[in-house]
Chains A and B, each alone.
Chain A
Amino acid sequence: MRVALFITCFNDTMFPGTGKAVVEVLERLGHTVDFPMEQTCCGQLHFNTGYRPEALPLVDRFTRAFAGYEAVVTPSASCAGMVREGHPLLAADHGTADLQRRVAELVPRVHEFTEFLTEVLGVTKVGASFPHTVAYHPTCHSLRGLHLGDRPERLLRAVAGLELVDMPAADSCCGFGGTFAVKNADTSAAMLADKAAAVRASGAEVLCAADNSCLLHIGGGLSRQGSPVRTMHLAEILAATEGGAR
Chain B
Amino acid sequence: MNGRGVVWLGAPSFPVAAKQALADPQLRANLKRATTTIRDKRLAVAAELDDWEALRDAAAAIKKRTARHLDRYLLQLEESVTAAGGTVHWAADAGEANRIVTELVRATGETEVVKIKSMATQEIGLNEHLAVHGITAYETDLAELIVQLGDDRPSHILVPAIHKNRTEIRDLFAAEMAHWGRPAPEGLTDAPRELAEAARRHLREKFLTAKVAVSGANFACADTGTVVIVESEGNGRMCLTLPETLITVMGIEKVLPSWSELEVFLQLLPRSSTGERMNPYTSTFTGTTEGDGPSAFHLVLLDNGRTDTLADRVGRQVLACIRCSACLNVCPVYERTGGHAYGSVYPGPIGAVLTPQLVGPEHAASLPFASTLCGACYEACPVKIDIPRVLTHLRAEVVEAQGGRTAEALALKAAGKVLDSPHLFAAAQKAAALGGKALARKGRIGRLPGPAAGWSDTRDTPAPPAESFRSWWRKNKEDDR
Contacts and interface: CB of A to CB of B under 8 A. Distances in A.
Interface of A: 7, 9, 11-14, 16, 19-20, 23, 33-35, 37-41, 43, 45-52, 54-55, 57-58, 61, 140-141, 143-145, 172-173, 175-193, 216-217, 219-221, 223-224
B398 interface: yes
B15 A48 contact: no
Given A50-B398, A180-B369, A16 B469 contact: yes
Interface string B42-62: 000000000000000000000
B375 A145 contact: yes
A183 B412 CA distance: 14
Contacts of B473: 19, 35
Given A23-B477, A52-B396, A13 B464 contact: yes
Contact of B395 (A20, A38, A50): A50
Nearest to B424: A40
B429 interface: yes
A195 to B, nearest CB: 10
B349 to A, nearest CB: 12
Contact of B457 (A58, A189, A217): A189
B28 A190 contact: yes
Interface of B: 14-15, 18-19, 22, 28, 332-333, 336-337, 368-376, 378-379, 392, 395-400, 408-409, 412-413, 415-416, 419-422, 425, 429, 432, 444, 446, 451-455, 457-462, 464-465, 467-470, 472-474, 477-478, 481
Contact of B425 (A9, A52, A177): A9
B420 A61 contact: yes
Contacts, number: 182
Given A20-B472, A50-B398, 4 more contacts: A58-B419, A144-B376, A186-B22, A224-B446
B22 A7 contact: no
Q: Which label, helix, strand, loop or mixed, suits the secondary structure of the B interface?
A: helix
B19 A186 contact: yes
Contact of A140 (B372, B451, B457): B372
B191 to A, nearest CB: 32
A223 B399 contact: no
B468 A13 contact: yes
B118 to A, nearest CB: 30
B468 A16 contact: yes
B332 A172 contact: yes
B397 to A, nearest CB: 8
B372 A220 contact: no
A55 B481 CA distance: 31
B378 A144 contact: yes
A40 B425 contact: yes
Given A13-B432, A61-B420, A192 B459 contact: yes
A191 B22 CA distance: 10
Contacts of B464: 13-14
Given A23-B477, A140-B373, A220-B461, A185 B470 contact: no
Nearest to A189: B458
B275 to A, nearest CB: 18
Nearest to A12: B469
Of the candidates B22, B333, B370, the one having the most CB atoms from chain A within 10 angstroms of its own CB is: B333
A12 B373 contact: no
